[in-house]
Chain A
Amino acid sequence: MGGWQGSAANRPYIDSGYRHNGNVEQGQKSALFETKLKPDRYEVRLSYPPNRNRAENVPVTVIHMADSRMIRVNQRENSPIDGVFISLGQFEFGNIAKVEVGTGETNGYVTVDAVQFLPVTE
């Protein structure tokens, strides 16, 4: 069964539900979160509803300015920030911010729910 499938079976999630990759076709699917931003430094956070059937090694790539960094996220573990988000780090962004959630070589379900760009106040 292909595609990304909608679900609301596990919590927490932002707004109405989330999607998962069905734990099949690893590497063929990805999800891109893109937004316009005021150029500045932001903390990037990813939310996901954890479960024991999730991947421990979800490749999440933050694309900022002309650079990108890949972070592996363990979606089996509870999200450390308020039980909702995990921080992917702080990044300098231009007008556009992109975060890509991949599925390559993952060892369980990959879920995507939401990405938060939080301005870093010095």
Chain B
Amino acid sequence: MGSYTLDSHNVRRYVTPDSHVQNEGDIGISAPRPYEIACGSIVPKKAQCPNLLVPVCVSSSQIAFGSIRMEPVFMVLGQSAAKAACLSLDREMAVQDLPYDVLSTHLLTDGQVLKMDDPHMISSRKMRGEVVDDRQAKFIGGLAGVCCKQAIY
């Protein structure tokens, strides 16, 4: 699982036509809660390489990797990859053939967290009547969710 902000730093610095220096290419948007990282994102296709696990250069978008790229997440992915490798060796099978159920059972026994419900979340689905969340609201006066490295309020 990961939880860090979707955080990619400036790509370049340039001078605008009116001679101001401007940073370009930064994004920083917080993740509302921890999220799951799919096991498949560290397992290459079998036809490409049957016995390789990739716990750091995972298959993800650049934006998602801006959040995944934290040491604790790499530690979790590393533990998962090592466990998958050991179980595959014991069974003399390619890492791609190891059933996820087998891996997840071992990871849970070792104390890894594979899912997390937000204990504070209040779900509109459990409420009476009609509930309209801000995700369904219409916002006037600028785009919703556009921000850049700000203090949180």
Contacts and interface: CB of A to CB of B under 8 A. Distances in A.
A43 B129 CA distance: 9
Classify the interface of chain B: helix, strand, loop or mixed.
loop
Given A2-B141, A3-B146, A15-B133, A9 B121 contact: no
Contacts of B123: 14-15
B102 interface: no
Contacts, number: 135
A116 B129 CA distance: 7
A33 B138 CA distance: 7
A35 B132 CA distance: 7
Counting contact residues on chain B (CB < 8 A from A), the size range is 20 to 34
A19 B32 CA distance: 12
A120 to B, nearest CB: 10
A34 B140 CA distance: 13
B30 A30 contact: no
Interface string B109-153: 000000000001111100111111111111111111111101011
A20 B137 CA distance: 13
Interface in A1-44: 1-23, 25, 28-35, 37, 42
A88 interface: no
Counting contact residues on chain A (CB < 8 A from B), the size range is 35 or more
A25 B141 contact: yes
B46 interface: no
B56 interface: no
B137 A33 contact: yes
A116 B127 contact: yes
A35 B136 CA distance: 9
Given A3-B145, A31-B138, A99-B132, 13 more contacts: A12-B120, A15-B121, A16-B135, A19-B139, A19-B144, A23-B153, A29-B142, A42-B129, A42-B130, A114-B131, A114-B133, A116-B131, A118-B129
